[in-house]
Amino acid sequence: MAKKAETVNMVDRFDEFKEQKNVDKTTMISVLEESFRNVLAKMFGTDENFDVIMNPDKGDCEIYQNLTVVPDGEVGNEDMEIGLTEAREIDPECEIGEEVAKQIFFEKFGRRAILNLRQTLQSKILELQKDAIYTKFKDLEGELISGEVHQIWKREMLMLDDDQNELLMPKDEQIPGDFFHKGDTVRAIVKRVDNPNNNPKVIVSRTDERFLRRLFEQEIPEIHDGLITIKAVARIPGERAKIAVESYDERIDPVGACVGMKGARIRSIVHELRNENIDVISYTSNPQLYIQRALSPAKITSIRLNEDEKKAEVFLHPEEVSLAIGKGGLNIRLASMLTGYTIDVYRDLEEGEEDIFLDEFRDEIEGWVIDALKDVGLGTAKAVLNASQEVLDQADLEESTIENVMNVLRAEFED
């Protein structure tokens, strides 16, 4: 009875393997057959005269040993030959010199062989699953995916997809303002798949700019259908984003289609991004016009481009400078990211008004200080002197350093 129970248990085990996810049936059958053949080769010295027939739908397998029929009493190798009398119990019509297929049952393997077989199968199936998970999610890099929050730690969050695959979202891949509970369904993109020691780790993100792209593709039918193309995305997660779109159909207004009536279409995306402000602009291959649109809502009077160095000097009326720079310098940073140009903002001088480029003060002000001011759009002396405290703070300079800069610049104009 013990042997019969062992047989039943082994069949149940195959039924478990049949249900394994992420492993296709053909590969699973191949691995199961290989594992059986390894055991057979150890037991009988060879597996060449064995047929292993897998029945994954039934959850079992059949093993047949092909033996040559010899006269009774002349069996020299029981693993290769069988006497005529015993052979005819299997096939009554067989003759000497022919082959008969003798079925081998699990109980003949013995408990230790069955245990080894189980362990081998478990190990190989686990490796197959890991390979399948890596391949599956490697192909999904950059694509939108949903998962249920399973566990939250200080530095990362664990989610499970519909197939119970683990998805990890580090804290820096979460949008500032994201706050989740266990059981919440969360959307993100597959950022990358690490595979240390063949142990795949799927890293997902909500801060990657591709997340914004995929949301637009999902929520805006014209983008999904290819009527509108996303040309570029710039994003500071949780704060603000700019997205450039283009339509190849003159009848379609790409910006209007994305925003919708009274912002109806974009509202769900903004909500998903924790109220991240999104500027949608119409793409153009004209760099001057593109930069002008990217700096919206500021109105530009003129632009001077250096296309080789990808630099743009933008001139505006004094009251427009703060709009171009934006709160916390976000607008100019995003415009630079979107267009690929380093943008410096300058006040457009009125007749008789004088101003001086900051670079001319490098003998009195350290270069790194000037570069820090230019990074927040302050490229001239008057721009610095007229800048609000909020914009100056974005340069991340010591108060004493700012005071020294102001004194140097004021002295120039007083002279």
Q: How far apart are CA 75 and CA 134, in angstroms?
A: 52
**How high is the pLDDT of residue 239?**
93
The CATH number of whichever domain residue 80 belongs to comes to 3.30.1480.10
Average pLDDT over residues 287-313: 91
Q: Are residues 402 and 353 in the same domain?
A: yes
**How high is the pLDDT of residue 58?**
67
Residue 86 forms part of a structural domain = yes
Q: Are residues 295 and 395 in the same domain?
A: yes
Q: The domain containing residue 7 runs over which residues?
A: 2-135
Label residues 254-268 b or e (16+ Cβ within 10 Å = b): bbebbbeeeeebbee
pLDDT digits (tens, 9 = 90+) for 137-159: 999 999 999 999 999 999 999 99
**How high is the pLDDT of residue 5?**
42
**Amino acid at residue number 118:** R
Q: Token pair 């683990």 is at which residue?
A: 166
> Which of residues 54 and 66 earns the better pLDDT score?
66
Average pLDDT value for the chain? 86
Q: Are residues 246 and 268 in the same domain?
A: yes
Residue 119 has pLDDT above 60, yes or no: yes
Residue 50 has pLDDT above 60, yes or no: yes
Q: Are residues 259 and 315 in the same domain?
A: no
| Number of domains comprising the chain | 4
Q: Which of the residue ranges 3-17, 285-299, 394-408 would you say has the lowest mean pLDDT?
A: 3-17
Q: Are residues 269 and 311 in the same domain?
A: no
The CATH number of whichever domain residue 253 belongs to comes to 3.30.300.20
Average pLDDT over residues 172-182: 93
Residue 7 binned pLDDT confidence (cut-offs 50, 70, 90): very low
**Strand-strand pairing, 311-316 and 342-347:** parallel
Residue 123 forms part of a structural domain = yes
Residue 58 forms part of a structural domain = yes
Total Cβ atoms within 10 A of residue 230: 20
Q: Are residues 190 and 90 in the same domain?
A: no
Looking at 283, 307, 324, the residue that finishes a domain is 283
Q: Are residues 255 and 203 in the same domain?
A: no
Looking at 115, 135, 155, the residue that finishes a domain is 135
Looking at 207, 230, 252, the residue that finishes a domain is 207
> Which of residues 80 and 117 earns the better pLDDT score?
80
| % of the chain with per-residue pLDDT over 90 | 49
Q: Are residues 278 and 294 in the same domain?
A: no
Q: Are residues 10 and 130 in the same domain?
A: yes
Q: Are residues 131 and 190 in the same domain?
A: no
The CATH number of whichever domain residue 181 belongs to comes to 2.40.50.140
Residue 212 forms part of a structural domain = no
Angle between helices 111-139 and 2-18 (to 10 degrees): 10
Q: Are residues 275 and 302 in the same domain?
A: no
Q: Are residues 272 and 367 in the same domain?
A: no
pLDDT digits (tens, 9 = 90+) for 347-385: 776 555 677 888 888 888 998 998 888 877 787 888 888
Residue 78 forms part of a structural domain = yes
**How high is the pLDDT of residue 278?**
94
Residue 40 forms part of a structural domain = yes
Residue 140 forms part of a structural domain = no
